[in-house]
Structure 1
């Protein structure tokens, strides 16, 4: 079934005619990728021919000139290499991912290779690269039922490829998306750079294992940091165990932080006014004084996780304005002395502290850590509140910058997706 009109919702000025449409089988010859035998070293030793896998798309994006792994000319079948300008689409396992090859190359068996036939060579690969986002969406919605997830090549050949008749319009569309992707790539690099800066700062602005002073320090501060055990510095806060009957996402006066919030949603400091799961108290007769509510500066650890993130923690902020409790799979503690707001949240997520937790973790598929296990771990901190404040302010400013860049990246990605939805014709449904 085709759309009534072959015109996109959004269009560059000066173009009004309907787009054209053709079946995949008319525009392309399709081929299958393959993996040369790993048992034959002559196919792989000192290889120079790019051989693409899904990892190449994940690492290098959707325009591929070179690969992580290479094969030798002896590994190439009689059908030859896939020529530059071909597109590959994953039609088994991970479905619908695609890329443009700009070098003569090969790909593994996950991919179907699309080569334009001669009479369609004018339909530029640059335009098709972005048109294939729609093809990828179609593939994900049309996976064979049962067995290995795959897309039927027979159905794929009946898919409609739409395009404007004007080469200038095609080029304008490709250039527009190319510019968006360049902005996205730049934003991704900025986020990555800032995240690496934060990790490096966490390593250098807190003492290394065995040391009592950090490698980098703000001017005006000196002397060794104070060394205490966890149990001497913190008092435990009893967890609040509630049944699922208490949960309600629309109403509640008491809010809960559980291990999933810590591992996924939050950084070193959590403003409890953020979206946490509320508990109902009035409807089921639970009163506020039945709970061990948290205060600003309290620390909550995730005591279980599927990886070494177990032991990640958050410092509570904003609890003076909202009732919040510690819930499922958490360890909540309260410092018995004053600390600068935010310092403990960053300190206890630094390598200095987390390295101590690694040998204390138990489990195979799911790791966990107990209150008793962390009781003898060592906490180091500068006794100067001014130095604590300076460290906390530095990391908070860095987190705010990272958050702003992530929001910018999300906005660009949303713009790209909206344009992909509206600047191409939604074509055939089989």
Structure 2
């Protein structure tokens, strides 16, 4: 591999001439049986990786189907396509504003020199952007400041700015209990739902469904960068089932996500294993 890299020319993209390729010397086992055994082993490992990747795609497709069938997907409907047993009542139409106890802004009054050190933490923009349920590890340091709003477990967090309208107002829910001296980054705002009416984890999944995302991103305003107001998000209407049904829906989706994460980890470990064997089996 190093010899190939040394013979590359150009940069956009780098290339290797057929003449240089033919002149590269390689070392191979003298016994054909050893070559076959190495080839068979690596082929089986590749097939196992491919199998795990197919299973991962099937799980992602299952989750996509569940998001479409377990939630109300039409403004004119009050029941989803699929229900759990013992649930048959209509979902109630509510605005997000009707379901909140408080709304708060992200960090204010800071400069770049205030970040990266200190005993307090703040939740990063990418953590919220990338995850339905925020990762407790997705935080950074900042100095304690009593003027800042503190994030609590179950708070929904919304991005308010993005480079493309399709990614504006992406939401996440904070799952941790370590809300002490935990703030929210400047480009987001926090939403604290009524816990006796709303499972915040259910709501976070619901707001990420294709149906609601299509209703949200047209509200973005801007040209080179897009923003959305808190009012636009709070005015959104959703169909809300009983709290018990919310809990059941969330628990099912959380289990699917857990299996997806495990499958991703398995694939990563198999790829690391393959890289290890490639380094050990070849000179």
Map residues 370-385 of structure 1 onto 2, 5 A cutoff: 370-382=229-241, 384-385=242-243
Larger RCO (CA within 8 A; separation ≥ 6): 2
Distance 1:363 1:155, change over 3 A: farther
Alpha-carbon separation, structure 1, partners of 2:133 and 2:278: 37
Q: 1:176 maps to what in 2?
A: 41
Compute the displacement of 1:233 (Å): 2.5
Q: 1:402 maps to what in 2?
A: 260
Q: 2:154 aligns with which of 294, 297, 302?
A: 297
Q: 1:270 aligns with which of 126, 129, 134?
A: 134
Report the 3-state secondary structure (helix = DSSP H, G, I; strand = E; otherwise coil) of the residue aligned with 1:237: strand
Spell out, residue by residue over 1:202-238, the C-alpha distance to the aligned partner (whole angstroms, 9 max, x if none): 1110001221111111111121112122333333212
Q: 1:310 maps to what in 2?
A: 168
Report the 3-state secondary structure (helix = DSSP H, G, I; strand = E; otherwise coil) of the residue aligned with 2:191: strand
Aligned residues between the structures:
278
Q: CA RMSD in A?
A: 2.4
Query: Gaps spanning 5+ residues in structure 1: where?
Result: 1-133, 282-286, 426-430
Alpha-carbon separation, structure 2, partners of 1:141 and 1:260: 37
Map residues 9-408 of structure 1 onto 2, 5 A cutoff: 134=1, 139=4, 143-145=8-10, 149-210=14-75, 211-234=77-100, 235-241=102-108, 242-248=110-116, 252-264=118-130, 266=131, 268-272=132-136, 274-279=137-142, 281=143, 287-307=144-164, 308-320=166-178, 323-338=181-196, 339-340=198-199, 342-363=201-222, 366-382=225-241, 384-408=242-266
Q: Answer whether contact 1:258 1:330 (CA < 8 A) is retained.
A: no
Spell out, residue by residue over 1:240-272, the C-alpha distance to the aligned partner (whole angstroms, 9 max, x if none): 033222232xx64322223222233x3x11242
Alpha-carbon separation, structure 1, partners of 2:239 and 2:188: 23
Query: Gaps spanning 5+ residues in structure 2: where?
Result: none
Q: Answer whether contact 1:230 1:374 (CA < 8 A) is retained.
A: yes
Report the 3-state secondary structure (helix = DSSP H, G, I; strand = E; otherwise coil) of the residue aligned with 1:160: coil
Question: Which has a greater percent of helix?
Answer: 2
Alpha-carbon separation, structure 1, partners of 2:90 and 2:222: 36
Alpha-carbon separation, structure 2, partners of 1:407 and 1:148: 31
Alpha-carbon separation, structure 2, partners of 1:419 and 1:378: 54
Q: Answer whether contact 2:134 2:175 (CA < 8 A) is retained.
A: yes
Spell out, residue by residue over 1:358-377, the C-alpha distance to the aligned partner (whole angstroms, 9 max, x if none): 32133456444332332321
Alpha-carbon separation, structure 2, partners of 1:304 and 1:143: 42
Map residues 1-16 of structure 1 onto 2, 5 A cutoff: none
Q: Answer whether contact 1:341 1:392 (CA < 8 A) is retained.
A: no
Alpha-carbon separation, structure 1, partners of 2:3 and 2:264: 29
Compute the displacement of 1:389 (Å): 1.1
Compute the displacement of 1:160 (Å): 2.2
**TM-score normalised by length of structure 1:** 0.59
Distance 1:340 1:138, change over 3 A: farther
Q: Answer whether contact 1:313 1:345 (CA < 8 A) is retained.
A: yes
Distance 1:303 1:141, change over 3 A: farther
